[in-house]
Amino acid sequence: MIDPKPSASHFINGAYMEDTGGAPIEVIYAATGEKIAQVHSATPAVVEAALTSARAAQPAWAAMTGTERGRILRRAADIMRDRNRELSELETYDTGKPLQETLVADATSAADALEYFGGLAGSLTGEHIPLGGDFAYTVRQPLGVCVGIGAWNYPTQISCWKGAPALACGNAMVFKPSETTPLCALKVAEILHEAGLPAGLYNVVQGYGDVGAALVGDPRVDKVSLTGSAPTGKKVYAAAAAGMKHVTMELGGKSPLVIFDDADVDNAVSGAILANFYSSGQVCSNGTRVFVQSGIKGAFLARLKERTEAAVLGDPMNEATNFGPMVTEAQLQIVEGFIAKGIEEGATLLTGGTRAGSLGWFLRPTVFADVTDGMTIAREEIFGPVMSVLDFEDEADVVARANDTELGLSAGVFTNDLTRAHRVIGALDAGSCWINTYNLAPVEVPFGGVKGSGVGRENAKVAIEHYSQVKSVYVGMSAVEAPF
């Protein structure tokens, strides 16, 4: 296994940087509760160094050809793939997610983003607009300095889903990882520089919310991209608005997964497991409100219970383990609070609901049946391995109930009726949807939410719109006709 300790807390202007004046941030391995590393929150001097170096480096980076920029990103993608195992072990140390997952879902997804946006960089152009004799053209320009702020569930992926399009478009990035998972983004910065990224273009500063707020409020910052909870999103969006900055907000969800009684039971159970228990339920797009049509309910619950109880909990570094701990004890306690509420408000606990093992923050995958729309577990984002199964009879009714939430990140439908699948998914208020599968998020497909779940989209060609702006130039080709 790798040694998870980083060389220093921050990565600024192409090199590791330490400043022990900032508050210590302990990194606790979720599987054992042991402290495995420590970094320090950024002091104002560190924030200043990051922003100064980003500002200084950005114009020369923007002046390079897109092909040159893209080559560096694609080289970084190759290095990440070569080091997938060590990066996956680090991701497991940072988050507690099992290596069985991190080997295929984290550095690989980050490398995909670097490769995809590296490939697009050379084709980012404006357009020519003929206007009779005159014409106009547009120039696609970078925004300048972008700040990325991460959540703790996918630290490697989030740092690249933001960094790759930002850099491809000619911006500099200052990335603040979640204080819970500070390790992975440092490795991303190291690899980008090893691949040839000039100093100052991808800086990592550690810190709590106050460091994020200092970055968002700085007038030298042109864009803020946050992945976090809906309440944090409202604060960050408001602070960014005060400076008229561009934003991307990837926030939480309480997404519906609708299973009609013509669906294949085992396939629907697989979908519900993917939609609730991957990464121990700590996934923003999870389909945590599983609406099951009455005709399939009995068979669905029986199979779901059986398969959920077959989850292999244990040492996340053992590749046979497929279900890891919660990220922190605090998060575990929050989820236990929701489980208690579910029981108190009358839901039926089908399986799980208790801690497992004597070490670390393990919680058994938990399923509640007979959940009704007004229960707390059906209304609030839990961000843990708790699935709520709700009953329904009628299509129109389930669509209305599914949409009765302020959030709108994702939605899923399982049915073998082709027209119903498209009709229902079309009627659900969500940005990222699946038919007969769940939670697949390849870089080629836009990702993001509607309503309270966010603004803007990550991934795919559409992300370019969120990391660049268009300048229009009108060209007069004949004598100017002035009125006097």
Query: What distance in Å separates the CA atoms of residue 262 and residue 259, rounded to the nearest whole number?
Result: 8
Please choose, out of 102-110, 207-215, 340-348, 386-394, the segment that lies near ligand NAD by the rule CB under 6 A: 207-215
Q: Looking at the DSSP assignment, which residues form a beta bridge with residue 371?
A: 390
Told to judge if 284 belongs to the known catalytic residues of this protein, a careful annotator would answer yes
Q: Give the binding range for ligand NAD (CB under 6 A) out of 86-94, 129-137, 173-181, 315-323.
A: 173-181
Closest approach of ligand NAD to the CB of residue 336, in Å: 16
Work out whether 229 is an interface residue with ligand NAD (CB under 6 A): yes
Question: Which segment (19-27, 39-47, 93-101, 228-236) binds ligand NAD by CB under 6 A?
Answer: 228-236
CB of 309 to ligand NAD, least distance (A): 26
Instruction: Quickly tell me which residue has 């983003």 as its tokens.
Output: 113
405 binds ligand NAD (CB under 6 A): no
**Minimal distance, residue 376 CB to ligand NAD, in Å:** 16
Binding status of residue 236 toward ligand NAD by CB under 6 A: yes
Tell me the backbone φ, ψ of residue 345, rounded to 5 degrees: -90, 5
Q: Confirm whether 254 is a catalytic residue.
A: no
Stretch that binds ligand NAD, among 11-19, 95-103, 136-144, 205-213 (CB under 6 A): 205-213
Does the protein bind ligand NAD through residue 381 (CB under 6 A)?
yes
Residue 235 within binding range of ligand NAD, rule CB under 6 A: yes
Q: Does 382 bind ligand NAD (CB under 6 A)?
A: no
Residues sharing a CB contact under 8 Å with residue 197, sequence separation 6 or more, in sequence order: 14, 72, 76, 167
- Of these residues, 89, 284, 336, 381, which one is catalytic? 284
Q: Which is nearer to ligand NAD, 91 or 261 (CB)?
A: 91
146 is catalytic: no
- Least Cα distance to 347 among 317, 387, 319, 380 occurs for 387
Q: Which strands form 128-131's sheet, in the order they lie side by side?
A: 128-131, 134-142, 468-475
Residue 341 contacts ligand NAD per CB under 6 A: no
Catalytic residue selected from 250, 254, 336, 381: 250
Active-site residue 481, yes or no?
Answer: no
Angle made by CA atoms 124, 126, 128, in degrees to the nearest 5: 145
Q: Does 213 bind ligand NAD (CB under 6 A)?
A: yes
Shortest distance (Å) from residue 449 CB to ligand NAD: 6
Name the residues annotated as catalytic.
162, 250, 284, 458
Q: Which residues bind ligand NAD (CB under 6 A)?
A: 149-153, 176, 178-179, 208-209, 212-213, 216, 227-229, 232, 235-236, 250-253, 284, 381, 383, 409, 449, 454
